[in-house]
Structure 1
């Protein structure tokens, strides 16, 4: 017998939801667990990272960038609501781009070259640390196997990211003058998108997590995502053998 698909979470009117404001506050309250307080990011923004360490961060973050389209596709596949699927599907195009020269992935490859990495060594993932691969794969598996509302809630780290990325650009321009300015295109494109997307993502979570159990699951999902990001930095900070040295040149 074919198993019936799960029922879609009903959109509960805001005035009938249990503790909607306190729910939003609990999500925002995870701000201090975001990865910007990790020791590696503190060094990255204070100018204390070596060129090799900065390249290692860029090379490993590529694996996370690759995951984003697949995890968003998983959220769409798990969602029975056509209006949500249509809206969330826009993220696929933003990351993959209309062609190989546009989109989030293309911008990240430009960043890699701007910090002195060869495109080939990014694409073949030779510098991806085991811990980073394990953390990112775990995040993808989470979005593939959990209800779509939890996958969306996990994406709420984008509430915390725009200011952090803006600070990164300022810090890098100040401390790492050897970075080619073309590499900042990723952040210039992503910061306004993240500000816009985060507001809508929060609205989706608040609208569709109408029970106390769903709200707790959403909070847990965002906490899990924060742990994924920090685990990635643990692995990057560990600095396994064979980390990228980059091309020779000023500051490299």
Structure 2
């Protein structure tokens, strides 16, 4: 049985994930020489285990065995220094890999966000949809917009689409009414709930659409050519009527009743 800090060939194989056959090859190539105990069995010590890790790192770098042998058998070879250097390289590689993973995940969310946007805009003229998507991508917050939409599941986005289509159909029937009309304001409340719900799904740590938040959303919406064009594509004059109705809702319903509204989903 191996003593403390000593490993049989089988133990080192299990510990390192390197096959026994490979360990025998490293022994033959003078890369990692096994020692012989008084019983004649081969064994390795802690230094050998550490040296094996260094060899494995070199192998991961696609270095040939003869070159590895020349390095580790050099009179100037310092295992501790080599391990410290490789440790720093691996840490940097891990950081670079993590950044790559983050970029890939962000790109995946953007792709998913575009798919979700296609669902929301389904039924509108494709030429318009392509134009809007191109403008969004070129916009200052385009990437953030698509990433946010990418957080919504496929099932959720279809439910959102169904609710949005039903709301739009109903709203187009009331645009001839004053924005203060109770029917218009009932739909404004529905729109607020949909806005609130969407932000809960897409914005981390979202606390609810406050009066100030809704006013900002309305102001930005009025200036956003894509948003305005979408409403106008449904019905001419709908954009102004909608934003005026939402401003009226903010001033007359939400302003002094935030606690009642901001948790509605």
User: What TM-score results when the alignment is normalised by the length of structure 2?
Assistant: 0.22
Choose between structure 1 and 2 for higher RCO, CA contacts under 8 A separated by at least 6 residues: 1
The structure having more radius of gyration, on CA atoms, is 2
User: What TM-score results when the alignment is normalised by the length of structure 1?
Assistant: 0.22
